[in-house]
Structure 1
């Protein structure tokens, strides 16, 4: 799988709302930076995702304007605009922001997400 396909798989896994699907695509030492919190363990990342899925019901997450800003045989970095939509307290809501993702290639040639940084657009 290419790093581009790894991003596509990650977005698809996120939209299943099942963290086990997401976890399969994460490096064991993944670090996430959200606007309101940093997560440094898979348990912290799981808790953040599951809370977000609880707050925004039926969320659909997508990436647009993806630009791969660096890549080599072991590392690939992209930036994109993220969009989400779903229901908060039964009212439709949506939003967007900026994302940076860092993928690393493991010895088995599998690309996994090592870092994600999400921030709002102000």
Structure 2
């Protein structure tokens, strides 16, 4: 029987809050060890590579705020879930205000009762 979307949506909101905290340690339990992320600037395989890339973003974009909107669950099971959404971020780069928006797709995996991000694909 598929999982209801509410706990998964709560996971995405927790992930969004952890990202907005700019504290890498909050993201660690939310990302599966073998995750793969595809960003506009490159692809990253494994939790450590992903956290390193995210840390570089935190160091580059000051006061960054990420927002996920129009979240839609397109596949749900007890073990995996897939969502798509629109995202925006605002922040400061080299003293100048910046922002960007795009689309995201995430694959979540249920690891022993704990949901984690297995794949994230963001594109502008």
Shorter-chain TM range is: over 0.9
Give the TM-score normalised by structure 1: 0.93
Greater fraction of residues in helix: 2
CA contact (8 A) 1:2 1:111 kept: no
Q: Distance in 1 between matches of 2:29 and 2:19?
A: 11
Runs of 4+ off more than 2 Å: none
Unaligned runs of 5+ in 1: none
Aligned length: 119
- Select 2:8's aligned residue among 3, 6, 9: 3
Unaligned runs of 5+ in 2: 1-5
Q: Distance in 1 between matches of 2:111 and 2:66?
A: 26
Pair 1:110-2:114 in alignment: yes
CA contact (8 A) 1:79 1:99 kept: yes
Pair 1:13-2:18 in alignment: yes
- Select 1:71's aligned residue among 48, 51, 76: 76
RMSD between aligned residues: 1.1
